[in-house]
Structure 1
Amino acid sequence: PLPEQVRLAPRTAAGGSVVDIPAIPFGITDLPAVQSREPLALDLASGGHLYLAGSAQSGRSTALRTIAGSLAGACSPYDAHLYAIDCGANALLPLIGLPHCGAVVTRDQLDRCERLLTALSAEVARRQQLLAEAGFASLAEQRAAVAATDRLPWMLLLLDRWEGFLGAFEHYDYGRLVDQTLRLLREGAAVGLRAVFTGDRSGLGGQVSTVFDRRLVLRMSDPNDYGYAGLQEKQVPASMPPGRALEAVAPGAPLRESQIGILGDDPSGTSQVAALQEIARHGLARYGRLPRRQRPLHVDELPVRVTYREAMSLDADFLAPSALWALVGVGGDTLAPVGIDLLNEGPGFTVAGPPRSGRSTTLRTIVHSLLDPAIGGGLVPVVLLTP
């Protein structure tokens, strides 16, 4: 019989980009007919979207963390990018430390969720055009034919608790974000986007069920819910510990029973987060700062407060276009310094707003940057007129 816990030791990826990335193991599958076991894996290159159905405390969020940690170990950030939407208990927030991860957004971050879905949709459209113009039928063909620096990375979108996503966005703007998500999964599969969603029985029926090529069923609180996945109650084992998954592979064929792994030896949430953080530290030490064009997409959150030095340190590659460039603040999907070039966009620039809106602080920041030796060499004369 399968053990109730499987410790997963993430593999060590190649240092740079490789054409054929390995399948991402996240558990083991029992094969009693041949008295053997095989890895339970997510194949980004030849697989499709995966739905993990289960009730609370069945191991859904842990499965996503295991997949993310295994991806970070098996693939370099040049070959795979990771994005996550957390509609549960914020179990996916630690993923943001991985060099592969561009964004982790939660359901209460409406603006960031919209921006992430829009950015991914735009990237899918860009890839569709790029592959069509170059005559490639798939992302795998493109990766095999071009130089390592030009290979498009696989993209993996994780979403924890589909029912939470529906509850938050089904009635917002006539369900636009739900429709956009389903369209993204349908159109993105051909250009390298893969998705792993978790949820309850709501993902086993309706429109969303048509976009998933594969379904794993974890423990359900209501035995009748197994029927939504095409399983008969008599096929379900009496014991379904957290992480135990059933998969119907073909009509009449026996179910495949798997145990999803955990990162490290301790299944507790704090230990799983610590294991992810260790994987992230190893990845950052190994890969360092990725070239700008090979980084994952970002939808960064604007800080409530940022100092001048913090703003300027956001982009280590930033070069002011002229000695009269002045910092105003930070912005963009990938947070970076934002300013005004008085040489090319001046000579005048007005900071307007009501009292206590930050006008004086903005003006002080502008003066600070004009006097910064790293920008203008400290040679820009500044005259202050105060009322």
Structure 2
Amino acid sequence: MMRFQSYFNTAISLIQGYNGSQPLVHYLKAYFAQEKKHGAKDRKYISHLCYSYYRLGHALKELSVKDRLKIALFFAEKAPGYWSGLYKPDWVKNWNEQLEQRIAFVEQLYPVFSIQHIYPWKEEISAGIDIPALSIGEFTQPDLFIRIRPGFENVVRSKLKDAEIAFQELSEATLALPNGTKLDNVLEIDQEAVIQDLNSQRVRLLFPVLEGSNLRVWDCCAASGGKSILTYDHLKQDFSLTVSDARNSILHNLKQRFSRAGIERYESFIADLSVSTFAFNGEPYDLVICDAPCTGSGTWSRTPEQLAFFSTDKITLYTTLQRKISQNVAKAVKPGGYLMYITCSLFRRENEEIVKQLLEENDTLELVMQQLMTGYHQKSDTMFAALLKRKV
């Protein structure tokens, strides 16, 4: 009991000293590097407490850190276990395996509480998102998803079974594994399988059918290159690939990843697509993939500290970037070609409204389809994707 009380007290101290200016994982790593007294189990429990705390988002902010942490842990754990000594008997008695019943108990104790207060921006949320379900999903750690690359289906499954790593088959190419599963010494990452969230993989369902020879594809906000590798595997035909990003370091890392993935023929360039001075003068593309910088709100169950420190001013910041980038790259789509706009955002201003503005300001573009792929029922991220076509 004393050990878990110590974990609890340490977590409170860490939370009180954290301001959200750096990822929580880096903050905790720096603390543990300095405090060598904490072993592997200590680090695990303390980190779990901190992450659980931030999963409360913006709910019950009027309470003390201690009280909020108790509520957050009550939601995060299916049973009291080692933590029972921290709670009064009525809490332990009501510690039901069903999260909804634990929520109901807290609502009785704190009438001002609503699970929807975790995400208090109802007017900003994209249509189709169930805010109570989204908030409840915040207390479930997402899975680790891999996409098996073509030709390696049997190899990957065999290696995972030999290593006694449990996995769930969602499709021939998509597997779900427990979060935190170590794969580097089991699989040839990027060659045999790509680590990629479930809905990020499902974006391929919106990919257009491209016909003809000398096809040209531009991944304009390439980042880690996941969408490029997905496109490479999906098209199953020769095409000319171009990637760009505003950061040289990103393109350097991308070069190494493409090498592992066996992608040798491509062009790359550095460009800030958000500036008004950017002008596209090259040969137009059959497909432009714009995985735009965004709030990342669809991934906050993995990084709950971003939820807790979020303000809607950031939506305005990102929509300014998204509007400029999407308008600039739309000019690079050839007649009959496609623009795919993607975010991992929950917010309509970053999703539907950007698409609406694109259509209003480009009368040669038409919407083929758009889809919000929610992840909170599947222990995955939420993604938004829209496919637009330039009229011939």
TM-score by length of 2: 0.28
Q: Which has the higher contact order (CA 8 A, sep 6+)?
A: 1
TM-score by length of 1: 0.28
